[in-house]
A and B are shown apart, each in its own frame.
Chain A
Amino acid sequence: AQSVTQLGSHVSVSEGALVLLRCNYSSSVPPYLFWYVQYPNKGLQLLLKYTSAATLVKGINGFEAEFKKSETSFHLTKPSAHMSDAAEYFCAVKSNDMRFGAGTRLTVKP
């Protein structure tokens, strides 16, 4: 069965600093991987997805993620954090059905 582990339930960065949110997955078949963002009191919105076309995936709002099969990882990065990036971020894997990680809450300090 597939699963997702997000390392760190809460990450805090300063505005302008690098954002790194970690995600590791397990899957018995080649996975589809996703990052979703949830702003307060809203539904989830897709940031980016990996579907085996390219290992480095670019998403919206300057985010990108790299698929590393040898490390079973799909970490999310952004070179320079903005205050508007403060939200909860979910990594998800699809092999049989959809499984989401527990989420990482990103705080951006001025």
Chain B
Amino acid sequence: NAGVTQTPKFQVLKTGQSMTLQCAQDMNHEYMSWYRQDPGMGLRLIHYSVGAGITDQGEVPNGYNVSRSTTEDFPLRLLSAAPSQTSVYFCASSQTGFTDTQYFGPGTRLTVL
């Protein structure tokens, strides 16, 4: 059981570039979420999904896109990266929702120059 995996671990982008952060889980969890972590601000919810084909916005969705075509995968897309998106990104999954235990991936550290 790998749990929640994220790739890449580190990424440097130039302003305006696009990229996709990958997230996968092998626990057959329905809920998956993306957070960003910034110093002094804790974690902020970007987007989440309650099941395949269903996504919704969190607290800070602007500049990010998601889709959920399978239960296992929940990629996060940056269409045109900006320096304000420099952050550490965490993916999480849970069986039944936010009230259930969330299992977090190891994170992706993204720098946008």
Contacts and interface: CB of A to CB of B under 8 A. Distances in A.
Interface residues of B, number: 22
Contacts of B41: 102
Given A32-B99, A94-B99, A44 B45 contact: no
Contacts, number: 54
Contact of B98 (A4, A42, A94): A94
Contact of B104 (A9, A32, A45): A45
Contacts of A9: 40
B42 A98 contact: no
A110 to B, nearest CB: 27
Interface of A: 4, 6, 9, 32, 41-46, 49, 51, 90, 92, 94, 97-103
Given A9-B40, A98-B98, A102-B41, 18 more contacts: A4-B42, A6-B42, A32-B98, A41-B106, A42-B107, A43-B105, A44-B43, A46-B101, A49-B101, A94-B99, A97-B45, A97-B59, A99-B59, A100-B35, A100-B42, A101-B42, A102-B42, A103-B40
